[in-house]
């Protein structure tokens, strides 16, 4: 499995309130949520994002409330993976659980620039910045997490496991 897209770069402590502000949480509709993704930190994000694009940010991405709407909004907006120095604990869990890929790689998060073209190989954890030619290595997901993301989330994963 692979991701390939252009980078949107942000800093430390991107919180769930800026990813999807509370004023939009009266809806659970993924498309509706996606249409407001990142609005309070980057008002033109939704217009610019293309399917497959990648978010790169620094420390503590997704801090704040436990709302599962945040990773759902990014996923539905077309983001293929978030690469960051670190993630807030519940955002991390919620992302994986809904089948949204995230990667911790401080080296890549530091160096990759806004607008770079980047490729990510989820099986090996190799992140390639095509624009600069640099490569980075993140911890690859263990097999069950790869499965989980491939299957589109925890619900499908549990269902599959039950069948076996």
Partner 1 sequence: MGLTMTQKILAAHAGLDYVAAGQLIEADLDLVMANDITGPMALPVIRQMGGNVFDKDKVVFVPDHFVPNKDIKSAENAKAMREYAIEQNLTNLMIQGKCGIEHAILPERGLVYSGMTVIGADSHTCTYGALGAFSTGVGTTDIAAGMASGQAWFKVPEAIQFYLHGKLKPYVSGKDVILHIIHKIGVDGALYKSMEFAGPGVSELSMDDRFTISNMAIEAGGKNGIFPVDEKTIEYMKQAGVKDYKIYQADDDAYYEKVIDIDLSLITPTVAFPHLPGNGKTFDEIEAMEPIAIDQVVIGSCTNGRMEDMRRAAAILKGHQVAKTVRVMVIPATQNIFLQCIHEGLADIFVESGCAFNTPSCGPCMGGHMGVMAKGERCVSTTNRNFVGRMGDTEALIYLASPETAAASAITGYITNPVKLGGAQ
Of the two residues 8 and 157, which places its CB atom closer to partner 1 in the complex? 157
Q: How far is CA 19 from CA 33, 96, 143, in A?
A: 10, 17, 29
DSSP codes, 89-128: HHHHHHHHHTT-EEEE-HHHHHH--TT-EEEEETTTTEEE
Smallest gap from Cβ 66 to partner 1, in A, equals 5
Instruction: Give the pairing of strands 117-121 and 2-9.
Output: antiparallel
* Stretch of 41-49, 110-118, 122-130, 135-143 lying at the interface with partner 1 (CB under 8 A): 135-143
48 vs 89, which CB is nearer to partner 1? Answer: 89
- Distance in Å, CB of 144 to partner 1, minimum: 6
Q: Are strands 54-57 and 81-84 parallel, antiparallel or unpaired?
A: parallel
Neighbours of 129 (CB within 10 A): 19
Site string for partner 1, 58-87 (x = CB under 8 A): --x--x--x-x-----------------x-
Instruction: List residues binding partner 1 (CB under 8 A).
Output: 60, 63, 66, 68, 86, 88-90, 92-94, 96-98, 139, 141-142, 144-145, 148, 153-155, 157-159, 161-162
């Amino acid at each position: 499995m692979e991701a390939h897209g252009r980078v949107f770069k942000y800093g430390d402590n991107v919180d769930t309130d800026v990813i999807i502000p509370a004023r939009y949480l009266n809806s659970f509709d993924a498309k509706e949520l996606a249409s407001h993704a990142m609005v309070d930190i980057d008002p033109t994000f939704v217009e610019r994002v293309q399917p497959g694009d990648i978010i790169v940010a620094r420390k503590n991405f997704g801090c704040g409330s436990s709302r599962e709407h945040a990773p759902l909004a990014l996923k539905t907006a077309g983001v293929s993976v978030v690469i960051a120095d670190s993630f807030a604990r519940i955002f991390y869990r919620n992302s994986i659980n809904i089948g949204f890929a995230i990667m911790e790689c401080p080296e890549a998060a530091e160096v990759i620039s806004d607008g770079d073209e980047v490729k990510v190989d989820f099986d090996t954890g190799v992140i390639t910045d095509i624009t600069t030619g640099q490569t980075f290595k993140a911890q690859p997901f263990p097999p069950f997490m790869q499965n989980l993301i491939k299957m589109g989330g925890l619900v499908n994963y549990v269902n599959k496991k039950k069948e076996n």
